[in-house]
Structure 1
Amino acid sequence: MAYPDELLVEGERVVMHKHPHWKMLVVPVLVLLLVVAIGSYLAALAGSQTWGHWAWLALAVVALGLVIRFTVVPVVRWRTTHFVVTTRRVLVREGVFTRRGIDIPLKRINSVQFRHTIFERIVGSGTLIIESASDEPLEFDDVPGVEKVHMLLYDELSDISPA
């Protein structure tokens, strides 16, 4: 999915657009499978009882609540989090109802670093650290292909002519 062009300024184009790494979705998927498995088992046990219909209804309500809270919400959060590099800035946007964002003009970036653990190297993610004119470096966790993003940002920074 491309980043919306109407959010870009004139002459700006998207160089890279990513969502957080898929590893953020592992626990929500496991929760979904666990809820379905346990719910199905309990529904089968309660099915032969005279009060089985009420038990099925209660199980459905509990299962739906668990799936919404521990699967749907994290998936929507993942899907609505954007890490975008354009020809002029780095943008991070997240949220559905309450949106948060940060824009870092490329001209204000002093250095770009990355780090990743052995596990993150295996799955292909890491933390991107951007030092700009602000006091504290900004850290972006779970960036997929963090080394490639680092190289891309470095390349974009080298294309900026000094003002």
Structure 2
Amino acid sequence: MAFPSKLLNEGEHVVVSTRTHAKALILPGLGVLVALALALFVGGLVDSSAVTIAVWVLFLAVVVWFVVGPFLRWLTTTYTFTNRRFIKRSGFIAKEGRTIPLNRISGVDFEIGVIDRIFGCGTLVVSDASTDGRVELYDIPDVEQVQLQVSHELHRLSGGDRRDDGT
């Protein structure tokens, strides 16, 4: 997913652009399967066409609520690191964004749980000097590589001459 170049400043380029891992859609998918099983079961129990129609309308509402909503959130939420800033954008109709200049970021860490390891993703923790303090980006694919690329860019931005061993 390419970040729109029209939203970049002159001389700015994308270092990493990603979105949440597709594993975020597993639970909504399971919810629809359960709703489908219930709709088929209840639809098979009743002989009334009005009740059957109501069951399927309810099923469609569940699909919209548990699948379409999360899918659109997943599809429209991106996390981008450029050589100058971190950008979080989300929304299809109503848009929301957050930008943190790279020079304000004090650290980029990652956390990988057991389930995350199975799926190849993890949580990226971006710490900054603001009152919010940190931004947690859950279920980032290849989180270790993303953290490495962002850390490299932070090091490059700071001049790259500073030694990291404290001497």
Q: Same fold (TM over 0.5)?
A: yes
Find the partner of 1:109 among 101, 105, 108: 105
Moved more, 120-129 or 24-33: 120-129
Unaligned runs of 5+ in 1: none
| 1:56-106 superposed Cα distances (whole Å, 9 cap, x missing partner) | 211121011111111111111111111111122111112233322211111
Q: Distance in 2 between matches of 1:15 and 1:104?
A: 15
Question: Superposition RMSD on alpha carbons, in Å?
Answer: 1.8
How many angstroms apart in 2 are the aligned matches of 1:7 and 1:145? 25
Asked if 1 retains the 8 angstrom alpha-carbon contact of 2:116 and 2:122, the reply is yes
Q: Which runs of 5+ in 2 are unaligned?
A: 160-167
What is aligned with 1:65?
Answer: 61
Runs of 4 or more, structure 1, over 3 Å off, are: none
Aligned to 2:136: 139
SS at match of 1:152: helix
* Distance (whole Å) between structure 2 residues aligned to residue 42 and residue 63 of structure 1: 11
TM-score, structure 2 as length reference: 0.84
C-alpha distance in structure 2 between counterparts of 1:44 and 1:95, whole Å: 39
Q: Any idea what the Cα deviations from partners look like across 1:1-27, whole Å, max 9, x if unmatched?
A: 322111111122222221112221111
Q: Which residue of structure 2 aligns with residue 149 of structure 1? A: 146
My pick for the range that moved more, 68-77 or 110-119, is 110-119
Deviations 1:89-133 (A, max 9, x none): 111112233322211111222221111222222222222112222
Q: How many residues align?
A: 158
Identity of aligned residues (%): 37
